[in-house]
Amino acid sequence: MRRGLYISASVHGILILWVLFGGVFNFSRDDQLVQVSDVSILSEDEFAALSAPRGETATEGDTPPAPRPTPEPEPAPEPAPEPEPAPEPAPAPAPEPAPAPEPEPAPEPEPTPEPEPETAPEPETAPPAPAPRVAPTPAPEPETPVEEAPEVVEAPEPSPEPTPEPLPEEVTPTAPPEASTEIVTEAEEPVEDPSLAPATSSRPKTRPSRPAPVETAEPATPVETPTEAPTPANNAAAVAAAVADQVAGGETDTPAQDVPEGPPLTRGEKDGLRVAVSRCWNLGSSSTDAMSTTVVVMVSMSRDGRPEGIRMASWDGPSEAAANTAFQAARRAIIRCGANGFDLPAEKYGQWQDIEMTFNPENMRIK
């Protein structure tokens, strides 16, 4: 351990001595000597003689050099002139009086209009004084009318009108069926299972129209043979018969329009209707059960090709909820594509008045 310390101390001592005395034994300092050369000052003439050509220098070399002109002594500097005393400030001139404002020219007098000749006023003729009336009795003095204050009559408060009680609905078997989104004929009315939920929610029915009152004509009683008064049973039978006649007459007043049957729809017409409905039919966001359900939909069409009634006739699938979902998708497709009416022949309205459509995810059929 101490040996290393000695070696380190000796090396450091040698390095310090070399730094201090390393330049003492170096005697070669020629590069540090400064060279000095003699320089003489030349005048302009001597410089011109040296820079002249050789011929001129040879001729001029024979002539002795002209003596140097002695420099003339510089004139003594003139003494600085004494500063002149500052002149006294002249008194400020008195301010000139402001010129008097020129008088404004007098406005020219307007020419006075010539007076119009006055017309002599016509002499007023005083009305003749009325002649005093002579009566045997003096006239009574007029009485001053006494103004009577108008009587204030309070308007009676309007009594609240009694709200009419709603009349009981009269349900008659002969009332016409109400309009709804679905048109179902008697032949096509399905037999619904009470345990199943309805396929579609029907619109609330409005109040049926009240039948017109039936006026029964009283039989004329002949003078010769008076008839007996009818019994209550006979009156009820007569009223029922009159109501039936009235209903039958109302039905005959509005005969059903003739529906053209025409030939059956061709395959091309059925395919055109199927393609039109399939463009709007979309089950992309439905469940897997709904996409595997087949529904049969009955559609009632109007004469202009628009759907009037849509109902589900039957379905085949895993669950009723899936069937309802598939039916709603089919119903939306029919309404959306049939908003402007389907392109169907009008002469065959009897053939496509009621259409059966089978919505199958694999293939759609139309009957």
- Going along the chain from its start, the domains and CATH numbers come out as 283-366 (3.30.1150)
What is the residue-averaged pLDDT of the chain? 66
- The answer on pLDDT for 342 being more than 60 is yes
- The answer on pLDDT for 256 being more than 60 is no
Query: What pLDDT score was predicted for residue 28?
Result: 56
- The answer on pLDDT for 302 being more than 70 is yes
- The answer on pLDDT for 334 being more than 60 is yes
* Consecutive H or E run containing 307: strand 307-316
Query: What pLDDT score was predicted for residue 255?
Result: 39
Helices (H), 153-264: 232-253
Say what percent of the chain tops pLDDT 70. 39
Q: What is the mean pLDDT of residues 355-366?
A: 80
* Distance in angstroms (rounded) separating the CA atoms of residues 32 and 24: 15
* Distance in angstroms (rounded) separating the CA atoms of residues 121 and 142: 41
- The answer on pLDDT for 336 being more than 50 is yes
Query: What pLDDT score was predicted for residue 315?
Result: 92
Cα dihedral sign for 288, 294, 300, 302?
A: positive
- The answer on pLDDT for 52 being more than 90 is no
Q: What is the mean pLDDT of residues 224-252?
A: 46
Cα–Cα distances in Å, from 352 out to 41, 107, 150, 271, 331? 138, 107, 81, 13, 17
Model's pTM, two decimal places? Answer: 0.32
- φ and ψ at residue 244, rounded to 5 degrees: -65, -40
Q: What is the mean pLDDT of residues 131-137?
A: 55
Looking at per-residue pLDDT, the higher value among 32 and 300 belongs to 300
Residue type, 168: P
Query: What pLDDT score was predicted for residue 136?
Result: 54
* Consecutive H or E run containing 44: helix 44-51
